[in-house]
Structure 1
Amino acid sequence: MFMSQDGLCSIGELAQSAGVTVKTVRFYSDRGLLPEACRSAGGHRRYGPEAPDRLRLIRSLRALGLPVPDVRRVLDEEAAGERALEDAVAGQLREVASGLKALRWREAGLRLVQECPPGERAERLRLVGAVTAAPSTDVLVRFWRAWLPARMPGGATERFLEVAVPRPPDEPAPAQVLAFARLCALVSAPCTGAVRPQPEVHGVAGARGAAVLYEGLAEAYELAAVALRRNRAPQPGEALDCFVAAYASAYGTRDSAAFRRRLAGQLGSDPRLDRYWELVAEVATPPGGRPEPTAGVAHDWLLAALTAPAVQGSRAG
């Protein structure tokens, strides 16, 4: 395409053929993305006939948002036989998705402030301002790690965190942003009798017993969630038996009517995290959607089933 006798072109000719500035060509050359074929007697850069196609490819990759190091890996792919392009594009897609989520949270936060009564704006600004645009659950994870029994096995802790820590929605409504902000504020507040104290079973069962307890509770909560989705009233059955068995295993005892009475009394007086679970439900439920049963709701359903008079005597003493 070049008219020079040696088939090479100057930096100006290359820039003109690609519709870019000389400064752009020089930038890519200096970073090793666009090698020059040689230098003229006067020290000017000369480029070979493959340069325009390479420059267009560079521009396309940059237009997709790929940083210079990723572009270099893609350009070297032909010789190395690597999947640099696929990896680079996948990485950019992850970044774009993260950016879009941050923008949606920012938009919902702005609408939350815009749509609230003037008297509530100061509080909402304070709450929303404490939550990053790309919301992090780190503060919730830290709360539960401090609340759970010390030296509880890591696997059991991680499984419980999957249940207890809500995943922020990718496209939140303003009400969900407010609920998440309130949730973070709740667990970040100074230690209070309503939030921080641990249940008695933590001290009685010990770390390994607590691991057995929480794994059993996770199964019981799943069974109770099935009943809740079917709008069933609290009642005896597999879910309740699993719930009681989890506590019995943690205490190293057996299920009996006496144990159920004692357990009902203990759970009734244990510290409650009701507000936490209420906010979790609000975060997880879009406007107009049906709330999914949280672990807190399942626990309340099971406790109600346990405290029913007929249940208290359903096991031989």
Structure 2
Amino acid sequence: MWSIGELAERAGVTVKTVRFYSDRGLLPEGTRSSGGHRRYGPDALDRLRLIRSLRALDLPVPDVGRILDEEDSLEDVVAGKLRQIGSRLAALRWQEAALQALQECAPAERAERLRLIGAVAAPPSTAPLARFWRRWLPPRLPVRLVSAIVDQAVPQLPEGPTPNQVLAFTRLHAFVTAPCSGTGQGQPAAHGPDGGRPAVLYDGLREAYGLAARQLLAQRSPQEGEALDCFVSAYARSRGTRDTPPFRHRLSGLLAADPRIDHYWDLTAELTGPSEPTPGATHDWLCSALDNQMSQLAG
């Protein structure tokens, strides 16, 4: 049996360290001497070395204790630690890019950028964007459809943002959290009482946007085809009518008069890059394809 000093010397730690782990129940003593001093057996050395290895990974003492007592597996604790580190790294990357955005701008812009950056956490949450879309969408849409639309409309944050991406997100955050000036402002006609069946419309639009995204990625100009037919069909079916040339003409005028939220989509494109066409970009492509078709028919 070793004294506390002998155990500390063999393990290469201080007596204070051994006493600390002993007092917290991580390193049970083998026995006590006649004078009341702690005594440890050889197994205590192995346990102490294991404790030091776990602590070297910055695992908290309670987690170390649960691993030693087999209440938690090492794999689960390590996985949890990795998630914590990932979150901290994401925050640091965001903060670094935010500081660069402040450092690189002209002095006259710094106060405004600081206001925008200071309004979001690091790393930021996309929850305000999701709330914006849930308010903007027409009422009584099926839950699964709302979730699908929100997932498509809310951009994913980049793992390593650039200063420009940080600014794009902070401006996006400011846009969606700004007070609304009146009920119904910015809503397209499809959201009104004469908009037909919005659930049918949005189901069809999701399909049409997917088809148009392929055209955008292929850098094709707005034109007739499957994507446009699907787009028009969604509006026709939602209104219980047929896709005819007169209907397409009316739809072209209706869409031209709809309020726009281009600012949202422009900022989203800055955040995600050109490899992921936004629903706003696909909608514009389809509207242009419809307008081009109407111009050709009129000519």
Percent identity for Structure 1 against Structure 2: 62
Distance in 1 (CA, whole Å) between partners of 2:251 and 2:34 is: 93
181 and 48 in structure 1: CA distance in 2 versus 1, 3 angstrom threshold: same
Three-state SS of the structure 1 residue aligned to 2:192 is helix
Three-state SS of the structure 1 residue aligned to 2:124 is coil
Q: Give the aligned partner of residue 4 of structure 1.
A: none
* 1:180 matched to 2:180: no
The offset of 1:180, in angstroms, is 0.5
Q: Which moves more between the two structures, 159-168 or 210-219?
A: 210-219
Contact residue 132 and residue 176 of structure 2 kept, 8 A: yes
Three-state SS of the structure 2 residue aligned to 1:46 is strand
Please, what TM-score do these two structures have when normalized by structure 2?
0.91
Distance in 1 (CA, whole Å) between partners of 2:234 and 2:48 is: 65
Partner AA of 1:152 in structure 2: L
Please, what TM-score do these two structures have when normalized by structure 1?
0.86
Q: Give the aligned partner of residue 297 of structure 1.
A: 281
The answer for unaligned runs of 5 or more in structure 1 is 1-7
Distance in 2 (CA, whole Å) between partners of 1:112 and 1:277 is: 21
* 1:75 matched to 2:68: yes
Q: Give the aligned partner of residue 5 of structure 1.
A: none
The answer for unaligned runs of 5 or more in structure 2 is none
Q: Deviations over 1:25-69 (max 9, x none)?
A: 233223322222223333333222111111111111122122233
Q: Give the aligned partner of residue 219 of structure 1.
A: 207
Q: Deviations over 1:257-294 (max 9, x none)?
A: 22222222222111111000000000112xxxx45311
- 1:29-48 pair list within 5 angstroms: 29-48=22-41
- 1:55-70 pair list within 5 angstroms: 55-70=48-63
Partner AA of 1:17 in structure 2: R
User: Aligned pair count?
Assistant: 297
- 1:1-317 pair list within 5 angstroms: 8-77=1-70, 84-192=73-181, 196-204=185-193, 209-285=197-273, 290-310=274-294
Partner AA of 2:53 in structure 1: S
55 and 210 in structure 1: CA distance in 2 versus 1, 3 angstrom threshold: farther
Distance in 2 (CA, whole Å) between partners of 1:252 and 1:30 is: 76
The offset of 1:196, in angstroms, is 4.8
Q: CA RMSD in A?
A: 2.3
Distance in 2 (CA, whole Å) between partners of 1:131 and 1:196 is: 25
Distance in 1 (CA, whole Å) between partners of 2:199 and 2:36 is: 73
Partner AA of 2:291 in structure 1: T
Distance in 2 (CA, whole Å) between partners of 1:311 and 1:61 is: 71
